[in-house]
Amino acid sequence: MTKIINSNEELIDIDDEAQNANQQIGYAWEEEYKRSWDVLQEDEDGGLKHTVEHLQSRKRKRLERDTSIIKRGIIRHMFLIIDLSEAMLEKDLRPSRLDLTLSYAEQFILEFFDQNPISQLGVIVSKSGVAEKLMGLTGNPMDNINVLKKKNIDTDGEPSLQNALEMARSSLIHVPAHGSREILIIMGSLTSCDPGDINETIDNLVSENIRVSIVGLAAEVQICKLMCKKTKGTYGVVLNEAHFKDLLFEIIPPPPVSIVKSKSELVVMGFPRGVNESMPSLCAWYDYACIYRNAVKGISNL
């Protein structure tokens, strides 16, 4: 089911852009001009086959990649860190880096819970050198989306990678070992204002099996590259709006499980069981007899 949705989205991307263009704040002449016909280049015979194939190949790549058989962890604990520095006000992505990021983040959250229904997600933002947790780990997509509504968000100063990572780490450290621990950073700034040595933080992340993936909006930053490489995450820098979405949505399919963790083969799942007891018994929480006791217990296991 999800796969079908994916491919549909690929096709209606153009509509998305048209929609974005409507929200546009700046004037048209403020932007870098774009010649959409440049994308189409004829080959020697004057045909467009090659170009069209190229455009389609991206989609195919994604589908092809999904065919290989690897074990994926489906219980994920992820923090989405959004950079709210001044650099996010740049308008090189339309309508602006910030607006685009927020709208994609919303789509991302929905899609994430759609494909990873029993995972949890939290949101952290970082501005003027501090990190702020907008929402702790939760299984409800709407909680996350609501905190990202535009009115709550303003930008200031520089981000602090280290603070944000430490905050995410302190929350992720307690999650059970059977789920994956992940951090996704959307980073518009090229600098980070850190209180200490970020390399120590990276080493801690590595030792705690936290995977850090970063989507950069401007250019390649060495420390990000290093961090993603060490923690086995992915690092991508966006070329344009559509590429931004691609990079972001690449994170959504569950990652392969690392061998170290896979010792817990099976996870105990609880479902309500109807047990008929011969006589009424006392419930631990309420003062009255409760015949649903076992059923409630089952749910709480979940």
Positions in the binding site for another protein (CB under 8 A): 32, 87, 92, 158, 161, 190-194, 197-199, 216, 218-224, 236-239
Shortest spacing between CB 154 and another protein, in angstroms: 18
Provide, rounded to whole angstroms, the least separation between the CB of residue 160 and another protein.
10
- Rounded-to-integer distance, Cα 92 and Cα 262, Å: 43
CB of 245 to another protein, least distance (A): 15
Spatial distance between the Cα atoms of 246 and 236, rounded to a whole number of angstroms: 10
Using the minimum distance from each CB to another protein, give the nearer residue, 13 or 220. Answer: 220
Shorter beta-carbon distance to another protein: residue 132 or 156: 156
Q: Which lies closer to another protein via its Cβ, residue 107 or residue 128?
A: 128
Kindly report the CA angle at 42 between 47 and 62, in degrees rounded to 5? 90
Q: How far is the CB of 216 from another protein (least distance, A)?
A: 7
Give the residue ranges of DSSP H helices in the chain.
2-11, 13-23, 49-66, 97-115, 141-147, 161-172, 198-207, 222-230, 241-249, 293-301
Q: Which is nearer to another protein, 74 or 190 (CB)?
A: 190
Q: How far is CA 270 from CA 30, 42, 260, in A?
A: 57, 59, 25
Q: Considering the complex, state which of residue 75 and residue 242 has its C-beta at the smaller distance from another protein.
A: 242
Burial 24-59 (b: 16+ CB within 10 A, else e): eeeeeeeeeeeeeeeeeeeeeeeeeeeeeeeeeeee
261: exposed, middle or buried (Cβ count in 10 Å: 0-12, 13-18, 19+): middle
Q: Whose Cβ is closer to another protein: residue 222's or residue 300's?
A: 222
